[in-house]
């Protein structure tokens, strides 16, 4: 009987901790989603404040696109400064993306310190890696491609 007491105590401790872990998981998922939403809305609306809030300055972003008069993907990096410059140009132009522009966010994985998400936007698909800094989820890596061309 005495050997069952430590087992019962361990089971009770795990049962009490489970709701806390689930709540933290939900909070982390919400934080990841908020960071990705700030990222896409920052580009769509020309809001560099949202970009600064969601992207680390040392971000590494690299993308593949097919130029209009070509049939082969070309790769190109984009720095943090270039991202903010793009957002500022959208704001200056007064032509934000329409409210109907796609912004589908799929959370692929969330751990206690790192996470991964997929964003489908008007420019294509972004795969984002995030990390938690001082309790805030921020984007550290982005790999993207323009929408796939139809086979033909």
Q: What is d(CA 105, CA 125) in angstroms, rounded to the nearest whole number?
A: 10
Out of 7-21, 56-70, 109-123, which region has the weakest mean confidence (pLDDT)? 7-21
Number of helices (H), then strands (E), belonging to the chain: the values are: 3, 6
pLDDT computed for residue 44 by the predictor: 98
**Rounded mean pLDDT, 70-98:** 95
Ordered by where they begin, the domains of the chain are 4-145 (3.10.450.50)
Q: Name the average pLDDT for the chain.
A: 88
pLDDT tens digits for range 92-141: 999 999 999 999 999 999 999 999 999 999 999 999 999 999 999 999 99
Residue of 59, 63, 83 whose CA lies nearest to 138: 59
Residue 50 has pLDDT above 60, yes or no: yes
Confidence of residue 7 (pLDDT cuts 50, 70, 90): low
Element housing 138 (H / E): strand 136-145
């Amino acid at each position: 009987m005495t050997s069952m007491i430590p087992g019962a105590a361990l089971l009770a401790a795990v049962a009490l901790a489970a709701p806390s872990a689930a709540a933290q998981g939900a909070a982390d998922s919400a934080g990841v989603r908020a960071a990705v939403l700030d990222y896409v809305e920052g580009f769509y609306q020309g809001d560099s404040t949202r970009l600064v809030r969601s992207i680390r300055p040392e971000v590494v972003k690299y993308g593949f696109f097919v130029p209009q008069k070509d049939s082969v993907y070309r790769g190109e990096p984009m720095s943090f400064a270039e991202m903010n410059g793009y957002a500022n140009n959208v704001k200056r132009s007064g032509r934000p993306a329409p409210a109907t522009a796609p912004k589908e966010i799929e959370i692929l994985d969330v751990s206690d310190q790192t996470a991964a998400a997929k964003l489908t936007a008007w420019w294509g698909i972004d795969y984002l890696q995030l990390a938690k800094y001082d309790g805030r989820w921020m984007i550290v890596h982005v790999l993207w491609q323009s929408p796939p061309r139809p086979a033909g």
